[in-house]
């Protein structure tokens, strides 16, 4: 994960762990979300991979400014609030929760 973040953003990070595993049943995609800390590096987009790159400390007060999709907000809230990793299956358009385990250690 550290190598992938460096390749796609130019940032050196510490990966602190997995905060959630999310199964988008509409698209048959599984997303694993990691929590980490940015330490250094020249942050820059990687052509063909990322259009824009920013590292922002996320809080309850600013999360809706940065994240607008409901299923992504849930991932962010899991990362900020839970210990362990949440496990969730859902459909999108509209977001419909099928199954959720709050915090799996």
Query: What's the CATH code of the domain at 82?
Result: 3.90.79.10
Domain count, the chain: 1
pLDDT of residue 102: 81
- Look at the alpha carbons of 29, 85, 1, 80 in this order and tell me if their dihedral is positive or negative: positive
pLDDT in tens, 49-102: 888 888 888 888 999 999 998 889 999 998 888 788 889 899 988 889 899 888
Mean pLDDT across 11-40: 92
Query: 83: how many CB neighbours lie within 10 A of its CB?
Result: 8
Which pTM was predicted? 0.77
pLDDT of residue 29: 94
pLDDT of residue 53: 86
Cα(14)–Cα(2) distance, integer angstroms: 7
pLDDT of residue 63: 92
Cα(48)–Cα(83) distance, integer angstroms: 34
Range of the domain at 8: 2-104
Residue 105 has pLDDT above 80, yes or no: no
């Amino acid at each position: 994960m550290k190598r992938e973040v460096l390749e796609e953003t130019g940032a050196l990070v510490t990966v602190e762990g997995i905060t959630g595993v999310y199964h988008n049943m509409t698209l048959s995609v599984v997303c694993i979300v990691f929590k980490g800390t940015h330490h250094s590096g020249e942050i820059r987009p990687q052509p063909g991979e990322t259009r824009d790159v920013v590292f922002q400390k996320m809080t309850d007060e600013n999360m809706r400014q940065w994240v607008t999709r409901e299923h992504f907000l849930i991932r962010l809230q899991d990362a900020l609030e839970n210990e362990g990793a949440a496990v969730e299956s859902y459909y999108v358009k509209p977001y419909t929760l099928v199954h959720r385990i709050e915090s799996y250690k």
